[in-house]
Amino acid sequence: MTAPVPREGSLLETPFARLLFDLWRTGSGGRLRLRDGGAEKTIYLENGDIVVEREGLSEKDFLAALVKKRVLSAEQAKQCGQTAKAGRVSPFRALGELGFVSPQALWNILESFFARRLFPLFDWESGLWALDPEAALPVRERLGLLPTQDLILQGVRQMRSPAVIDHLLPEETAPIRVTAPAHLNRIAWEPHERYALQVVGCVTCLKAFYEACEIGRQDARRILFAFFALGIATAGDDKPRRPRGEAEPEAQGSPIEALNEKCAFLYRFVTKEIGPLGRTIVARSIEEARPGLGPLFQKAALLPDGRIEADPAIRPGATGLPEAMRKALVHGYEEILMAEVLAVRKALGSRHESTLVQALEKVGTP
């Protein structure tokens, strides 16, 4: 059961990025107030996501930003303001009435503008926060929702405060542990962040990560901060690491590894029988099965040896997988293997299929 988030606390203890993740993880809602000296900010949440609300946008600044970005001319912005005042409507409504911006483009700009106004909070080194779960915005004041995980990643990318980053990251020699939580594959990583995720999953501590990573130290620490803020990396117990190329004890003989070994065997079987065309047949069977495999397999790839990579962000043999994710992975590999066996029947006939099935029964078992 997920532990509830306290209703108040200090950003010195829980940085803003981590606070947002904890609120998302627990599906919290209500009004979040933050105060640091004379600076104050109010954010509304719904089921852990951020509510885009009218008051937090500053309509005057929004129109000025549209002019600066050359979405509107100065004359159009002036006309929009006059139309809004005359009709007693918001500038957002006036933009649509005048036909200056389409609804789709307008809401994309609205959400981006709102998110950017929250970015400075990620660098707050101290301050107090309080959550009122009972507070809610009137429907008229709500303009949409921002996915909290995406906002966290965007905000961390803008961070400039070393103190906040230092506070959350452990000592460089402290052991770290990387897991694959269910939300991992839904995060919009950039290529260099995916690369860093692969590196950090193969090292024992931050010092080893810095030595192995090809990203500059400052940017690497910012990425690591995102991993810790999003619950992907944690300070863990100092457990012996496996030698290079040797499977972790938990992964040895696991259902996922056994199924993937069967996929590799089937691949060798098909390519031996019909040559390079075999890879095309296997790859096509995976594509046909993909729509029914669930979110963990939407980026699934056929590796050169015939094994299947469910998602680049999920390290093979990763420990600490939630039980629901582990079951979803097993089910997905079972579905892929079944689709590949059916592809063999179509391409080679039932006799080859029978021979393959008998051989597969012995693959991946002690």
Each residue's pLDDT expressed in tens, for the chain with a length of 366 residues: 455 567 889 998 899 999 999 999 888 999 999 999 888 999 999 999 999 988 777 777 888 888 888 888 888 888 888 888 887 888 888 888 888 888 888 888 888 889 989 999 999 998 999 999 988 888 888 888 999 999 999 999 999 888 999 888 989 998 888 876 666 667 888 999 989 988 888 888 899 999 999 999 999 999 999 999 998 888 864 443 433 333 344 444 478 888 888 898 999 888 888 888 888 999 999 999 888 887 888 888 888 888 888 876 665 555 556 677 778 888 889 999 999 999 988 888 888 888 888 888 878 664
Looking at residue 364, its pLDDT comes to 67
Looking at residue 315, its pLDDT comes to 57
Q: Are 17 and 148 in contact (CB under 8 A)?
A: no
Phi and psi at residue 332, in whole multiples of 5°?
-65, -45
In a domain, 242, yes or no: no
In a domain, 3, yes or no: no
Looking at residue 66, its pLDDT comes to 86
Residues 279 and 349 in one domain: yes
Kindly report each contact of residues 279-288 with a partner whose C-beta sits within 8 Å and lies 24 or more positions away, as own/partner. 281/343, 281/344, 281/347, 282/306, 282/340, 282/343, 284/343, 285/336, 285/339, 285/340, 285/342, 285/343, 286/336, 286/339, 286/340, 288/339
Looking at residue 4, its pLDDT comes to 58
C-alpha 219/C-alpha 322 separation (Å) is 29
> What's the order of all strands across the beta sheet hosting 30-36?
8-10, 128-132, 30-36, 39-46, 49-53, 142-146
Residues 230 and 265 in one domain: no
Q: Judging by DSSP bridges, how do beta strands 308-309 and 301-302 pair with one another?
A: antiparallel
Cα dihedral across residues 266, 270, 276, 277: positive or negative: negative
In a domain, 184, yes or no: yes
Beta bridge partners of residue 233, listed in sequence order = 178
Residues 273 and 223 in one domain: no
Of the candidates 267, 256, 278, 236, the one whose C-alpha atom is nearest the C-alpha of residue 333 is: 256
Residues 142 and 17 in one domain: yes
Which of residues 122, 154, 186 is at a domain's end? 154
Looking at residue 180, its pLDDT comes to 65
State the total domains in the chain. Answer: 3
Residues 268 and 230 in one domain: no
In a domain, 246, yes or no: no
In a domain, 1, yes or no: no
In a domain, 243, yes or no: no
Looking at residue 296, its pLDDT comes to 81
Residues 272 and 214 in one domain: no
Residues 227 and 261 in one domain: no
Is residue 175 helix, strand or coil? strand
Residues 137 and 23 in one domain: yes
Angle at 147 between CA 105 and CA 15, to 5 degrees: 125
Residues 135 and 192 in one domain: no
Range of the domain at 347: 255-360
Which of residues 201, 235, 269 is at a domain's end? 235
In a domain, 244, yes or no: no
Which of residues 179, 207, 235 is at a domain's end? 235
Looking at residue 250, its pLDDT comes to 42
Residues 226 and 345 in one domain: no
Angle at 289 between CA 283 and CA 293, to 5 degrees: 120
Residues 148 and 282 in one domain: no
Q: Locate tokens 């690491």: which residue?
A: 241
In a domain, 335, yes or no: yes
Residues 106 and 218 in one domain: no
Q: Are 299 and 256 in contact (CB under 8 A)?
A: no
Kindly report the pTM of this predicted structure.
Answer: 0.62
